Structure formats: structure tokens, C-alpha cells
A = this chain, B = another copy of it.
Amino acid sequence: MTIKIGIVGYGNLGRGVEYAIKNAPDMELMAVFTRRDPCSLRIQTEGVPVVKTANAAEWKDEIDVLILCGGSATDLPTMTPELVKLFNVVDSFDTHAKIPAHFANVDIAAKETGHIGLISVGWDPGLFSLNRLYGSAILPNGKDYTFWGKGVSQGHSDALRKIEGVKNAKQYTVPVESALEKVRSGCNPELSTRDKHTRECFVVLKEGANASAIENEIKTMPNYFADYNTTIYFISEEEFDKNHNSMAHGGFVIRSGKTGENNKHNHIIEYSLKLGSNPEFTTSVLVAYARAAYKMAAEGIKGCKTVLDVPPAYLSEKSGEELRATLL
């Protein structure tokens, strides 16, 4: 049995999905959908058609699960509810505050036609959410901590690039090692925003820009930088192009909790990711959950779901019997 997959959008995520499918013996890529001119797109898998997203409906009987590789800001809020009317879909919607609204929209659309829409799949939201859930359910008398990095924050980099006089910029979020150690010690510290992460900015200036004015503008920017210890490095375009292409990222979810008589015993659950490529790891998660979406749809499950709803065994191509014998 082969699961027939379609990819919508062919940026870093779309390409990552294409690579991940090659590692999935039970999946076949049927088509890549794009808003661009299909003739302008060169994909990696020979013989797979590239199709205008506007014509996706023609493929509705050829595809089991569509993996949506659009952005959370403008693409997915409309793309996911629209396409879930025609297909089972998986997306990586990651604007935490807007997940409940997105869920509600996708749920209504999915139920209209009896599809499943698995949203907010990736590592945060996604695997980190799972670990926050497992941790809080198992150690209710405790506290959880999420740290991100070291890795580029797209939103913060965008904020830097919007400053007048800035030609290019990348912002790295860096977890504070001493805060991590404090959490691991089990003392359940109260940590402020400033305590947990620092921000490192690598900025290329336009000719004639005022470095110290820009430095001040960055350090005092509300929401983005004002609440953090921020370090700014002004670098040349050559250095920027040479040293700041990495898509590496990562982070930590730590649950610290107490059990027993007089809360005598302390326990630490730590989950950490060190990712060579943020988009490729995210898409590896998307592909595993596309398999789950396929299995859930086959069981008649409809509507919007998240990683919190998916039985772990559904992520694997192995049978329950095999999993119990080899992994349990």
C-alpha cells in the first residue's frame, strides 16, 4: 500500500518534504503544486508533474494527503481551510496565538466534506508541544521550561531588515546556559524573558548609515529586543554571505516536578533538539504526520486535529505487532 502525497508550495519546506518522502518506503510523490509558472520550477524527483495550485481540484482523487508548505503569516490561514475541502491535509501553522482560530476554521471546512486537517505540525508547535503535554500530565506538581536556539529567528531578522539603513541582517536566539543549568538542578526557578535567552544580531549596513543610531533603535525595539540582552555585530556583506547561511536550530523542553511524601523526590524530564537544518527537520515531522493523517482518514476520522490527538503508532509504517516487538 502506497500513500500518495502532494506538496503545495516549493520553497525550503517543499523541497524538504520532497527529500523526506524519498526516505519513506510507503509513500509516493504524485505532484507538486505552485503559484508560480510550473515551467519555471525544477524539482528533484524525475517524472513528477508540477501543477498550478489553482488546478489542484483536478487531483483530488489522485492524492491521499496534501502537505501544505506555505507560510503561517499569509498563506496557511486561507490555504488550509480551502484545500481541506478537497483533500486530507497537513500544515505547519506556527503562530501560537492564532492556533485556536485556525483550528476552528479548518475544523468547519474539513467536516463539510469529511476530510482530516492536521495542523501545527513541526517541532514548536509540534514535538515540543507533545513534550510539554507529556511532562505536565506525568508530573502535575511541577513546572515546564522551553528554550529555543541557537538558531535564526525569521521574525526578528525581518524586524532588523525593516530598519532604515540596514541592508541585510540575521538574528540568532541563544539560550542562556546558566538558566538551563538552574532549571536542570530542579529548583524550579522563576525566569524572566531576559534570563532565558539572549539575542545576537549580525547586521550589514547600507552606505552612509549611522551605526550607533541603528544600534540604539535595535536595542530599544519593543517586543523584539527591548526585553533581552542584545548584542549587535556590524559586519561586511562578504562576511554575511559567507558565515550566515546556516539553517541550524534547536531547543529544549524541560519539565521539573516533584512526587511522593512531602514532595521529597525531584524528577527532571529533558527533551532537546539539535537540528542541522530547521526546514528539513520540520518537513521530516510533516511527512511522518502525513502518514498518520492517512491512517486516521482511513478510519473515518474527520475534522481538524493536532499532534496532541495522534496515536504515536500512526507515525510509523510498521505494524503494531512489529512496533511492540522491536521498540516497546
Residues of A within 8 A of B (CB): 16, 19-20, 23-24, 44, 96, 99-100, 103, 120, 125, 127, 129-130, 132-134, 136-141, 184, 186, 247, 258-261, 264-277, 280-281, 284-285, 288, 291, 306-313, 315-316, 320-321, 323-325, 327-328
Contact = CB atoms under 8 A, between A and B. Distances in A.
A261 B328 contact: no
Contacts of A19: 259-261
A99 B326 CA distance: 10
Given A136-B327, A138-B285, 9 more contacts: A99-B324, A133-B313, A138-B288, A138-B315, A184-B274, A265-B276, A267-B274, A267-B284, A308-B327
A236 to B, nearest CB: 27
Q: Which of A133, A136, A261, A273 has the most CB of B within 10 A?
A: A133
Given A16-B260, A138-B285, A267-B276, A328 B312 contact: no
Contacts of A325: 99-100
A185 to B, nearest CB: 10
Contact of A328 (B268, B306, B313): B306
A327 B31 CA distance: 34
Contact of A324 (B100, B272, B273, B313): B100
A140 B24 CA distance: 8
Contacts of A280: 259-260, 265, 267
Given A270-B272, A284-B139, A324 B308 contact: yes
A116 to B, nearest CB: 14
Contact of A137 (B129, B264, B270, B288): B288
